Chain A
Amino acid sequence: MTVNDLCGILSAQKVNIADGNRQITCGYAGDLLSFVMGRAPSDSAWFTVMTNVNVCAVATLADVSCVVICEGSQPMPGFKEKAAEQGINVILTDDDIYTAIKKAVNEGQI
């Protein structure tokens, strides 16, 4: 499944799309950045409610395919600029993390 596919499945808003055709091969959910750093696989979709600029740094370093902001959580100041600068994919859905992942698994087969 691509980032664009997941965006469609979740009826998500595009916060920043650097490469909508990037493949997503798995997923990771969590808000504690050290857990994400240590455990999120590369090429995964990272489901979180965190929206500060450090999310962008962690997404880049962990090399995830896409950040999925859940619960309609609004990006904090500077977030969009940093995401654009670092070329990371970020989408935003009103779904809670469980519901978003259920859809990604059922409809996106990750």
Chain B
Amino acid sequence: MQDCVHLEYRVDGQNFVSAGSATESVKTFLKGMGVNPQDVRRVAIAMYEGEINMVIHANGGYAYADIYVDKCIITLVDTGKGIKDIDLALQPGYSTASDEVRALGFGAGMGLPNMKKYADECIIESEVGKGTKVTLVTRFD
């Protein structure tokens, strides 16, 4: 058995039709590996929020999944505008999403809180004007 499987996806900015497809692919892969449904769901929720954030707030980016027997590490990297105050961005309800995006059902300001809640580790690194990197570690039961 392989020790680690590495998957890579390009995430298009502002494309709401393809948004979520990277996460769907990772979910299908984990399911196929036989990872228990609860853990698959946790990975999917956290990764989807990160993927959507790159679509909405960062004009796209890249999603990477490193899958091991006992854990999965999702890395979301973008070269978007960055997050000025991460503590503020983590507050439930805080959102800078536009009205247009809100009309689609996004912008509840629960994305980062969901990531914190569902991933075992959620590391956010960001620099204004440079971009954002989010690392999500989920350990399998």
Contact = CB atoms under 8 A, between A and B. Distances in A.
Interface residues of A, number: 22
Given A38-B117, A38-B118, A42-B41, A53 B17 contact: yes
Contact of B44 (A32, A53, A61): A61
A71 interface: no
A110 interface: no
Contacts of A32: 105, 108, 110
A52 B45 contact: no
Nearest to B55: A54
**DSSP class of A's interface residues: helix, strand, loop or mixed?**
helix
**DSSP class of B's interface residues: helix, strand, loop or mixed?**
helix
Contacts, number: 71
A78 interface: yes
A62 interface: yes
Contacts of A58: 20, 48
Interface string B21-32: 101100100000
Interface residues of B, number: 26
B14 interface: no
B20 A34 contact: no
Given A57-B20, A57-B48, A33 B37 contact: no
A82 to B, nearest CB: 8
Interface in B102-140: 104-106, 108-111, 113-114, 117-118
Interface of B: 16-17, 19-21, 23-24, 27, 37, 41, 44-45, 48-49, 52, 104-106, 108-111, 113-114, 117-118
